[in-house]
Structure 1
Amino acid sequence: MKRFEVENTVIMPALAMRGLVMMEKMSLHFDVGRKKSMLALQQAMAGDKQIFLTAQKDVLVDDPKEKDLYAVGVVAVIKQMLKGQEGVVHVMVEGLYRAKMVELLEESPALVAEVKEIPVSKRRTVAVEEMEAMMRVIKSLFESYSLLVPKMSKEIILEALGQDTAEGLFESVVYNIMLPFEDRQLLLEANSSYKRLKLLSEVLQRESQVLALERNIYEQVKEQMDKNQRDYFLREQLRVISNELGETDDAREDIETLMDQISAIEHISDDDREKLYKEADRLAKCPPQSQEANVIRTYLETCLELPWDNVTKDTLDLKRAQRILNQDHYGLDKVKERILEILAVRKLSPEMKGQIICLVGPPGVGKTSIGRSIARTMGREYVRLSLGGVRDESDIRGHRKTYVGAMPGRIINALKQAKVRNPLILLDEIDKMGADFKGDPSAAMLEVLDSEQNSTFRDHYIELPFDLSEVLFITTANDLSTIPAPLLDRMEVIELSSYTREEKFQIAKKYLVPKQVKKHGLTAKDISFGQEGVYTLIDRYTREAGVRKLERAVASVCRKTAKKKLSDGFKKVTVNAKALEEMLGPKKYAVTQAAQEDRVGAVTGLAWTSVGGETLEIEVGVYEGTGKIQITGNLGTVMQESAKIAVSYVRGIAKEYGIPADFYKTMDIHIHAPEGAVPKDGPSAGVTMTTALVSALSGIPVRHDVAMTGEISLRGRVMQIGGLKEKSIAAFRAGIHTVVIPQENKPDIAEFDETIQKGLHFVPVRTIREVLDVALTQPEKPQETLPDLVMLGAEPEAVPVISC
């Protein structure tokens, strides 16, 4: 395209530059990629190679119009133009003179503008001294600026400082430093040399301040940067690179999330919150894949998972609670009453805390299931912890987090599982904990179960105090003797005794049978448990304090019924004694019955076992001899001592019952408790041995419908014993009518089942003489012959220990 001159203006191709400002007398290399810009270059090359270069106001505009371009630009000559890769053209130009765009004549296909040269002002507007001062200011500012710019060439600095003209100084400085294109445009538009230098001084001063501030910040960062900060800086760079690659795993966001969660906790002290913040800061400084980072992250996540603020509201409707307890369990009146008392007190005094209850009783009586019912009654979350076999203190308190594989203890894990800070935690089998070289877990439980201390319970792993005072702890045990005294002192003990025959029947009919029938896919049309069948299961196929074996027996009947239904296609099975013998085989246990006649030297005693009460026969044989005393029946030390006390006491009352005064010299005495394979011990057979000994020596029969229990002293006083309810149930089951008990045990009768109270006649006694008055039939006419030793009734099931 040829250049046209019209009234001091020139029409020529124009090129819009993005982010660049061309100065006169300046050589510049740049790349051209837009199509209309390439066409403008081609038109210029076809003519005199001159082109008007002006800057865009907005570098993001791809197709600029006249309003998008600065009016003042530079007319330049194209020195070189090369084609590059991907359609890019490399151009080298040299500025000729400044020009102003009068009008943009064409916008497509290429820019064509009418431009007019801007002459350089020759008029001197300032004094020589002022110009000299301005040049010195520029040189000083440029020198300061060059010290702040890294890798500034010394030749450029020397060249600028050696200039003695305003134009030369301006060109040496502006052409060799990096300035924003907006500042360059202002410098280009300035008409006089002085104005240009003044603008340049402002630009240099501002750029110097920015560079100084930037260097100051950099120096501060550099001074504060240690190894961890350096690693963090590199990680940030790696994060940015990963983001660009689409492989981001923003650990910083996770840390910020942890910080937000820590700040959101309400029920925590400021010191504890600060400790968590410090741990989060440590995590931010650690490499994400390091072992320490994993330990800290796990610790923080565990702490934040604890229910610091979550709490459930107790349901305090006593009528509803009583209805739920009665639906879930038959009997257990004492336990139900205690639970209703807790609810009543909590309703009247919501701030009262710290109830810790220990349910004690033989296996299978419902200790564990009553805990679940209590939780449902109160509307609390339920968590069960089995403590049987726990021998390590860290199971309760956790491990220090510095150990490999450290974790919190069972109490903290239970709270995490419950997700509230006031659940019901059932500590099952607390009497089965033991101590070894790893510590005593029962000692660790002292703080957990102390309502005065557990408000600041510290787990070794968490290391922060957690309030356990709102937790309702229920513990269960079979034997109180194995629980350490300090731990037992912290709990309110409620004893659950053995079920009576009638209670087992009701439990089976209302709970066990419907549960197992449904569980085995049967209906009432398939199987029916009659009264005879249930009683037969209780009496002849099970012998226990609870109902676990009874439930297994019911389940066995249901399994056999299900098999029979699929194989034989029967209509319905009625469970009675005959059907049970066909399904379960011969009866396993004989029903122990009391003797049917009065006997000499044989007395029915009562004993307690871990599966309930039993009748215990004591036999005494007297023979001519030299005063030897023989004790058999696998008796323990305490029971042997009771036998010796009985012999000594009988020597003191021998004349009253027609017993020879020297019997201990002329007669051999043999005391025996049948079932020698079963260990027996305890003091409560003292009255039984004494009665049998008096009967054998005097020949006076003992009433067959009388059973007795009680410890004796050397002076004949009858003392208190334990397990009276279980022993009374055994007497009732054996058909005994009268039970002789110590006077001190009389209050226990009020807690017995109504069936037991009506079915037995209890005779409280203070001395052995009162026992003999009740048990012996003819004290005034002693017999002279020794009795035959006869064992009556079927033998009871062998159990680990019989306690008399």
Structure 2
Amino acid sequence: MSEEKTPLKPVEQKDTAPSQEAEIPNELPILPLRNTVAFPFSMVPLSVGVARSVKLIEEALKGDRLIGLVGMKYPDIEEPLPGQTYEVGTVAKVEHVTRAADKSMQVIVHGLERFRIDYWLADSPYLRARIALSPDRVEKDLEMDALQRSLRELAQEVVALSPKFPKEVGDYLAQVKDPRYLTYLVASGAGLEVEKAQQILERNSVKDKIRQLIGYLSREKEVLTLGKKIESETREKMNKAQREYYLRQQLKAIKSELGETEEGQSEVDEYTEKLNEAQLPEEARKEAERELKRLASMAPQSAEYSVIKTYLDWLLDLPWDKTSEDQTDIDRARTVLDEDHYGLQDVKERIIEYLAVRKLVLERGKSSEPAESKDAGEAMGAILCFAGPPGVGKTSLGQSIARALGREFTRMSLGGMRDEAEIRGHRRTYIGAMPGRIIQSIKRAKTRNPVFMLDEVDKIGVDWRGDPSSALLEVLDPAQNHAFRDHYLDVDFDLSEVIFITTANQLETIPAPLRDRMEIIGLDGYTEYEKIQIAQRHLVPRQVKAHALEDEEITFTEEALRKIVEDYTREAGVRNLERQIGAVCRKSVVKIADQRWEHVIITPELIREYLKKEKFESELSEDIEIPGISTGLAVTAVGGDILFIEATKMNGKGGLTLTGHLGDVMRESAQIAYSYVRSKARELGIEPDSFDKTDVHLHVPAGAVPKDGPSAGVAMIMAMASLFSNRPVRGDVGMTGEVTLRGRVLPVGGIKMKVLAAHRAGLSTVVLPRRNEKDLEDLPDEVRNTLLFVPVEQIDEAVAVALPSAHAPSEATEPVNS
């Protein structure tokens, strides 16, 4: 059974006996109660959930609503049988029933009269018994009056001492005159244990019930009185502690006036010892000593005490004099960089130059004149910024520099940072103030000359809390960062020996003053050949080890890696390539774990089976046979890419429609291209009158992707010239360059990434501005030897290449065969 009850609620006593209010039959359904005893005259809330008990209540509601309530001897029994309950209980009437969603019932019953069970009639579907009413014996004499008065007074005292009873309960007790009703009222609210409550219910004489209750309440009164005394003593002790604190403060003042000093606490001694051992600069030492004096004069209970302790912990834990000894062996550094990265020769050479300068400055620094020390410091403090698309190895290059130098490496991401206090820290006047992340990272590195990488410097935000990029100006300025002042520490910390390296995907979003303090080293995308080499040397061994495979258990063929690069990844870096190699390794592990294969050779066919259908297809391998389509080259956040320009015409009044999520600059380029083609209609073999009767719609596919910039001008002119002259543009030619109304082709940026995209896509010829010809020197040999480059100064030269059937210019443009 699971019938529980909440505290009993007394009802107003009536002059009429319960048996006269309702005819109580000799046979009743019996509801056993767990952990509770119901008394006459009381309102008892019950929670009924067992199916047998629910059925009992339902049938009682259909009849006279009378049931018998008895306590259970063994509360852990779910459905007790005869003999497992007490034989004396209370007849009760079901007053109210509420059904819950879980089919249980909330029942309120009204206790009527005491009864005894003569014998049991049934135990199914619920307990039934023949009963005999057993009213209490009430004796009217002086002893009863005395007992009743004692019980009432004692109960009122317990109510006054107990916080769980309101004051009105004591007033109500004073109004109760009937001894029997008073007895059950006090018993129901006294919180008796089940056994004691059952003993009171079973006693026949009201006098005996009152005597037992008086004994219980007397003990309860003593417990409550003792609790009050303990509470009072505790309050007195607290007041005494405060009084002693004030007296101690006065005593300190008196001793100070007398010139007597009191020994500090153990914590103050500990901080003093640390301060003596630490090699702090003069300013930091004075600040630490000042705060230590304040700490010694404070009580540990003071709120300022913990604030000063935290400040001293930060001040003493910083590596003021701890540095890593540089390993300036150039050959070793070159070996480390070659081990960690394939290709990137220009970047490696710049890093080697950087390390060589630091080596000479350190070797010759002692003999430098004071005037030369500033220049030497600036040479050592150059800030490098690795800029390039994701996955090309910017962060890992910083780790390689740290390994080559033998320094600690720490990294801090600036992406999404909007609060200037993240860099400089919060002032100590704020609750919960801490140093900025620069000082926190230096503390974690445990040396004041780590290699410090500031990741995603192009993604710093600005809002009402300040501009973090402005706070970085001091950090990244070699002429200032020797005295970097964090708001929390409020003392200078020397950052001049830290090697700061930043990374970025796009330089355009970096504020100009911040960009001016950094030396930009561009990391463009990898060629297909470079990706395969990187996969063979680094990615495959790393993934094989990560998946607990042995080298002799799996082999990647070069054709398989090429298929992953071409058909399952389209990126400038190799991050997604490594992810796909990991997926292949996982599927191979399944084959080996099932003991079906002992050695897995990864072939292009197996790649297709493992990675399912190809994710990318070459868009530019198709031959363009329809006039009005040209192939442009673009730079995105993930590297270079090709860009189709589509134009079509229809009957109209000379309008121009532009679609494809184009920015303002790109829309202006389209207007310039349209105007140029109209102005050079006869040279291009176009009927000039056709523009007045024709509307043009120019579209750049992938409309959900924002596009902007002037470099698509050449491709737009080619698309429109092709459309109106009805001659298709060569499908193997990619082009880039800004155009003017005079037909000049101006230089653009991102040539290396654009050419790499053309090479990945399978183009054979690239048309580019002549002033960008110098950028071709940065290209890998395999790219320069594969593509034909045509540098142009005028748009006529580009037309001769892309539209070979057009009228050729007076002087043929010489292609650059690299």
Give TM-score, length-normalised by structure 1: 0.65
Structure 2 equivalent of residue 336 of structure 1: 348
Q: Does 2:532 match 1:505?
A: yes
**SS of equivalent to 2:768:** strand
Query: Does the Cα contact within 8 Å between 2:620 and 2:731 map onto a contact in 1?
Result: no
| Amino acid in the other structure paired with 1:721 | V
SS in 2 for 1:391: coil
Work out the CA distance in 2 between the residues paired with 1:444 and 1:555. Answer: 41
Q: Which residue of 1 aligns with 2:452?
A: 425
Equivalent residue for 1:227? Answer: 250
Question: Aligned match of 2:667 in 622, 635, 640?
Answer: 640
* 1:597-636 matches, cutoff 5 A: 600-636=627-663
Letter in 1 for 2:324: T
- Which of 366, 369, 377 aligns to 2:393? It is 366
Alignment partner of 1:460 is 2:493: no
Which of 760, 763, 777 matches 2:790? 763
Measured in 2, the distance between the counterparts of 1:677 and 1:474 equals 35
1-structure distance, mates of 2:772, 2:427: 51
Other-structure match for 1:723: 750
Distance 1:228 1:450 in 2: 53
Match of 1:274 in 2: 286
Provide the rounded CA distance (Å) in 1 between the counterparts of 2:518 and 2:636: 24
**Partners of 1:499 and 1:561 in 2: CA distance:** 27
In the TM superposition, 1:739-778 aligns within 5 A as: 739-778=766-805
| Alpha carbons 1:701, 1:778 under 8 Å: kept | no
1:481 alignment partner, SS class: coil
Q: CA deviation at 1:259?
A: 2.6
The reply to whether residue 261 of structure 1 matches residue 274 of structure 2 is yes
Between the aligned residues of both structures, percent identity stands at 50
Residues 28-43 of structure 1 aligned to structure 2 (within 5 Å): none
Question: Which amino acid in structure 1 is aligned with residue 281 of structure 2?
Answer: I
Structure 2 contact 385–504 (Cα < 8 Å) conserved: yes
Structure 2 Cα separation of the partners of residues 467 and 393 of structure 1: 20
Describe the superposition over 1:612-641 as per-residue Cα deviations: whole angstroms up to 9, x where unpaired. Answer: 222222233344443222323333322221
Alignment-derived partner of residue 585 in structure 1? 612
Structure 1 position 659, deviation (Å): 1.7
Q: Distance in 2 between matches of 1:614 and 1:730?
A: 5
AA matched with 2:486: D
Could you say if the C-alpha distance between residues 318 and 601 of structure 1 is closer, same or farther in structure 2, counting changes exceeding 3 Å? same
Q: 1:320 to 1:697 in 2, by over 3 A?
A: same
Q: How many pairs does the alignment contain?
A: 544
Cα-to-partner distance string for 1:410-447 (whole Å, 9 max, x where unaligned): 11111111111111111111122212222222221111
Code of the aligned partner of 1:370? L
Query: Which of residues 568, 572, 583 in structure 2 aligns to 1:541?
Result: 568
Confirm or deny: 8 A CA contact 1:228 1:285 kept in the other structure.
no
- Report what 2:145 is aligned to: none
Task: Please tell me whether the aligned partners of residues 800 and 807 of structure 2 are also in contact (alpha carbons under 8 angstroms).
Answer: no
Q: Which residue number in structure 1 is paired with residue 600 of structure 2?
A: 573
TM-aligned CA deviation for residue 513 of structure 1: 0.4
Residues 1:347 and 2:362 aligned together: no
Q: Which residue of 1 aligns with 2:122?
A: none
State which drifts further: 597-606 or 299-308.
Answer: 597-606
Report the equivalent of 2:419.
392
C-alpha distance in 1 between matches for 2:582 and 2:665: 41
Separation in 2 of the partners of 1:425 and 1:742?
39
Indicate how the Cα distance of structure 1 residues 232 and 732 shifts in structure 2: closer, same or farther if over 3 A, else same: farther
Q: CA RMSD in A?
A: 2.4
Q: Which residue of 2 aligns with 1:525?
A: 552
Q: CA deviation at 1:736?
A: 1.4
Change (3 A) 1:231 1:402: farther
Code of the aligned partner of 2:669? S
Report deviation, 1:403: 2.2
Query: Would you say the 8 A contact 2:677–2:721 is kept in 1?
Result: yes
Say whether residues 1:305 and 2:332 are aligned partners: no
What is the deviation of 1:597?
Answer: 6.1
User: Secondary structure of 2:683's partner?
Assistant: helix
CA distance in 1, matches of 2:442, 2:624: 62
How far does residue 251 in structure 1 lie from its aligned partner after superposition?
A: 6.1
Deviations 1:488-508 (A, max 9, x none): 111111111111111111111
| Aligned partner (choices 653, 662, 681) of residue 654 of structure 1 | 681
**Matched letter for residue 227 of structure 1:** Q
Name which one, 1 or 2, has greater alpha-carbon Rg: 1
Deviates more, 1:591-600 or 1:445-454: 591-600
| CA offsets 1:615-673 (integer angstroms, 9 cap, x no match) | 22223334444322232333332222111101111222222222222332133323232
TM-aligned CA deviation for residue 374 of structure 1:
0.6
Aligned AA (1:302): W
1:319 CA displacement: 0.8
- 1:782-797 matches, cutoff 5 A: none
Cα offsets for 1:731-756 (capped at 9, x unmatched): 11222111000112111111111111
Gaps of 5+ in 2: 1-247, 366-376, 809-818
Provide the C-alpha distance between the structure 1 equivalents of 2:284 and 2:473, rounded to a whole number of angstroms: 24
Q: Is the 8 A contact 1:232 1:285 kept in 2?
A: no
1:382 partnered with 2:409:
yes
Per-residue deviation, residues 42-69 of structure 1 (Å, max 9, x unmatched): xxxxxxxxxxxxxxxxxxxxxxxxxxxx
Cα separation, 1, equivalents of 2:442 and 2:314: 11
Greater Cα shift, 651-660 or 439-448? 651-660
Measured after TM superposition, the shift of residue 300 of structure 1 is 1.1
Residue deviations 1:1-54, cap 9 Å, x none? xxxxxxxxxxxxxxxxxxxxxxxxxxxxxxxxxxxxxxxxxxxxxxxxxxxxxx
Q: Secondary structure at the match of 1:402?
A: coil
* Structure 1 unpaired stretches of 5+: 1-224, 240-249, 782-804
Distance in 2 between the 1:709 and 1:718 partners? 9
**Given the two structures, how large is their TM-score scaled by the length of structure 2?**
0.64
Mapped partners of 1:560, 1:288: distance in 2: 61
- In the alignment, is the contact (CA less than 8 A) between 1:407 and 1:461 conserved in 2? yes
Q: Distance in 1 between matches of 2:627 and 2:427?
A: 69
Q: 1:228 to 1:668 in 2, by over 3 A?
A: farther
Does the alignment pair 1:285 with 2:308? Answer: no
Partner of 1:470: 497
Amino acid at match of 1:256: D
1:564: Cα distance to partner? 2.1
Aligned to 1:689: 716
Which residue is 2:31 aligned to?
none
Residue 230 of structure 1 deviates from its aligned partner by 5.3
1:363-391 deviations in Å (ceiling 9; x for gaps)? 11111111111111111111111111222
Deviation at 1:541, TM superposition (A): 1.1
- Residue 384 of structure 2 aligns to a residue whose secondary structure is strand
Q: Displacement, 1:265?
A: 4.1
Deviations 1:215-260 (A, max 9, x none): xxxxxxxxxx963725999xxx9x9xxxxxxxxxx96444234234
Q: Deviations over 1:511-542 (max 9, x none)?
A: 00000101110012221111111111111111
CA distance in 2, matches of 1:630, 1:401: 60
Measured against aligned partners, the alpha-carbon deviations of 1:337-383 in whole angstroms (never above 9, x if no partner) come to 11111111112112533221111111111111111111111111111
Q: Is 2:432 the counterpart of 1:409?
A: no
Partner of 1:72: none
Q: 1:685 Cα deviation (Å)?
A: 0.9
Change in Cα spacing, 1:377 to 1:710, as seen in structure 2 (3 Å) is same
Measured after TM superposition, the shift of residue 467 of structure 1 is 0.7
Which amino acid in the other structure matches residue 272 of structure 2? M
- One-letter code aligned to 2:743: G
Kindly indicate whether the alpha-carbon contact (under 8 Å) linking 1:620 and 1:669 is maintained by their aligned counterparts in 2: yes
Q: Counterpart of 1:192? A: none
SS of corresponding position for 2:520 = strand
- The answer to whether structure 1 residue 318 and structure 2 residue 326 are counterparts is no
Secondary structure, counterpart of 1:320 in structure 2:
helix
